[in-house]
Amino acid sequence: MSPTAPARRLRLGLPRRAFSQVLLMQVTIAAGVAVLATGLFLAPLSSQLDQEAMRRALAIAQTTAQDPRIAEGVQRTAPAADGLVQREAERIRHATSAEYIVVMDTRGVRWSHPTAAEIGHRVSTDPSRALAGDQVMGIDKGTLGRSARGKVPLYGAGHRIVGAVSVGIAYDSVRARLIGAIPGLLAYAGGALAVGALAAWLVSRRVQRQTRDLAFSDISALLAEREAMLHGIREGVVALDRHGRVRLLNDEARRLLGIGDEAVGRSPDEALGGGRTTDVLAGRVTGTDLLTVRGRRVLVANRMPTGDGGAVATLRDRTELEQLGRELDSTRGLIDALRAQDHEHANRMHTLLGLLELEMYDDAVEFVGEVVGDHRVTAEQVTEKIHDPLLAALLVGKATVAAERGVALWVSEPTRLPDRLVDPRGMVTVVGNLVDNALDAVAGRPHARVEVELRTEGRTAVLRVRDTGPGVPEEQRELVFTDGWSTKKPPAHGKRGIGLSLVRRFAERQGGTATVGTAGGGGAEFTVVLPDALAETLTGEETASTPAGSGGTAG
């Protein structure tokens, strides 16, 4: 036997395609419903026809009993085949197409019968109920076979019972009517079955188009694979229906967006609130690789419409990449600054060598003191004002970068920051982004200058970064904090428009604000207010005295 024989036997038992299975099941259901409906209709129909025959037999018996000649003949004549009672009964029987009409006296003796030889004999069924004054209906078996019968009392003068009248309608005639109705019922049932089969075919065709003629096992496997894929990939997936409601979230999307199953069935506005991320998911912002910020995360979002009117959005976490990119930019800046310092150091060494060769020793000592003193004063001025080591190191490095780019970076006189920041890394991000933004704004301008002011009011930290650049137009002062918005050329590692958005989000998470205005010289002034930025415990370094005469720091 070939290896494909078992598969052939399975296919002979039940079709594999969803279209064929749905069609077969629906036709079977329609046929079963048609048969059941026919049976349910025939059962009461038989009873109804029996009741109709018995009522008809009773009505004929009542009509016969009301004929005064019948009662008078029973009282005054003897039972005979050619008697008055027999003649009247036969006339009525022929007129009504009854099987028989039997008139009997109070003893149960027949005075009429379709078979004349039965006249004068007792009836074969019990007439006691009719002779007692009751009207009787039923299906009985007598000398003429099974019949639908009706019996009524026969009243004479003075409303006295003188006998009874029994009328029968052949049961075979009732059955014949029932059997005669079956072809019509089957025709209706067949029509209903045909309509059901047509509807089943149309439904199956729709199922075939929507399932792409796959088998149920294939659909089940695809669903299982989809679930495994959605929850296994490290990329957030959000599916929306045609009404813009969330219908699917994978595990990564829940993590990146900070939402759970409660978001399913709701619109992005209801689930996420306002913001650029919501606008991207809802389709109000279009494009590819759109940058958004959700909480502390930088996300890259793409949205693709689906054939049913919905959409699928993908989210990639770019937070670490963005941080690495910024660190790379800073590193490149430091490398350029170090290269420039190396060049400057070589020039100074050549100068020193020349002084020594000329035996100008005192001038050489003075020259070395000036060179070393310049760098010492710069670092000392920063550390005297900013006691947090991360921020101090950042500003010293930024001063070097600024000097290489021809920009003077100053730490203003009012600057005082103790070493008890609650989130020093977050402050480094804020200061670094604002300084980088200011350096980009003043680069290439004459007398370029950037000033940093960091001071505290109780536990609140206030940061101001001023520059001598072109400033920010009033109509763009809110737009500059939007995710993905920038007027500068994108860097090598990715897209711009994230730094200022991160600054504002960091400030808002701390319950503070981030705004931009106009500096005294006409440039931009960014102000960040961070409540509760300092820890309550004072450190010894904060209480140490600060030299009163220290001035600004030039880069």
- 462, pLDDT greater than 90: yes
Residue 527 scores a pLDDT above 80? yes
The answer as to CATH 3.30.420.40 being correct for domain 236-317 is: no
Residues of the chain with CATH 3.30.450.20: 14-232, 236-317
- Retrieve residue 279's tokens: 């606008």
d(CA 408, CA 331): 20
The rounded mean pLDDT for the chain is 78
Quote the tokens at residue 419: 């070493």
pTM given for the model: 0.45
pLDDT attached to residue 179: 67
Distance CA 416, CA 412 (A): 9
Give the model's confidence band at 59: pLDDT under 50 very low, under 70 low, under 90 confident, else very high: very high
What is the CATH architecture of 14-232?
2-Layer Sandwich (3.30)
Question: Any idea which fold 321-543 has?
Answer: Heat Shock Protein 90 (3.30.565)
pLDDT band at 454 (very low <50, low <70, confident <90, very high): very high
Look at residue 548 in the predicted model and tell me its pLDDT.
Answer: 36
Per-residue pLDDT tens digits for 487-502: 555 444 444 557 788 8
Do residues 431 and 391 make contact, with C-beta atoms less than 8 angstroms apart?
Answer: yes
| CA–CA separation, 555 and 516 (whole Å) | 24
Give me the mean pLDDT over the 194-214 stretch: 71
**Whether the Cβ atoms of residue 442 and residue 467 lie closer than 8 Å to each other:** yes
Distances (CA, A) of 16 to 12, 193, 206, 215: 10, 24, 17, 5
Pinpoint the residues of the chain covered by CATH 3.30.565.10: 321-543
Least confident of 187-191, 211-215, 241-245: 211-215
Buried b / exposed e over 217-252, threshold 16 CB at 10 Å, is eeeeeeeeeeeeebeeeeebbbbbeeebbbeebbeb
